[in-house]
Amino acid sequence: MAEEQLKLENQLCFPVYAASRLITREYQPLLAKLGITYPQYLVLMVLWENDSLPVNDIARRLILNTNTITPLLKRMEQQGLINRIRSKKDERMVLVQLTEKGEGLKVIALQIPEEFIKRLSDRELKTDDLIKLKENLNSIISLLSK
């Protein structure tokens, strides 16, 4: 029956969507200690890896449109986590740099991945299964990002 394809339980998209929302919810108490949201955490992780990046590069790494990331960056600048400055080489380009406060959050954030994995492992999920899941999701992201 073709209608079976339309059942929620037969969709790949729903468990991925639901898992994403629930994972973000699990991160909230961990990120509350830093005073940031999950999307802000993602931006900070990108900048902790490579500071002083163009907005477009951050958006590309996070698979977001620039019109989605710009308000997020404005809020982060108001919080004193980042600075947005015009490139001296190309004034059309806006660079995002960590402030001392933004860089300082890295020390506290170092415990977050371990704490998150511990929360999942306490619920009978094995670390190896989580690694395989991450690899499979990265494959899907790679296919869909082309």
- The domain spans of the chain are 10-110
Q: What is the pLDDT of residues 115-130, one digit of tens each?
A: 988 887 767 778 888 8
DSSP 51: -
The pair phi, psi for residue 83, each rounded to 5°, is: -125, 140
pLDDT, average across residues 101-111: 96
CA distance 75 to 73: 5
Q: What CATH topology corresponds to 10-110? A: Arc Repressor Mutant, subunit A (1.10.10)
End-to-end CA gap in the chain:
32
Q: What is the pLDDT of residues 67-93, one digit of tens each?
A: 999 999 999 999 999 999 998 888 788
Contact 87, 94 (CB under 8 A): yes
Q: What is the pLDDT of residues 5-53, one digit of tens each?
A: 889 999 999 999 999 999 999 999 999 999 999 999 999 999 999 999 9
Q: At residue 2, what is the residue type? A: A
Mapping DSSP to helix (H, G, I), strand (E, B) and coil, where does residue 94 land? strand
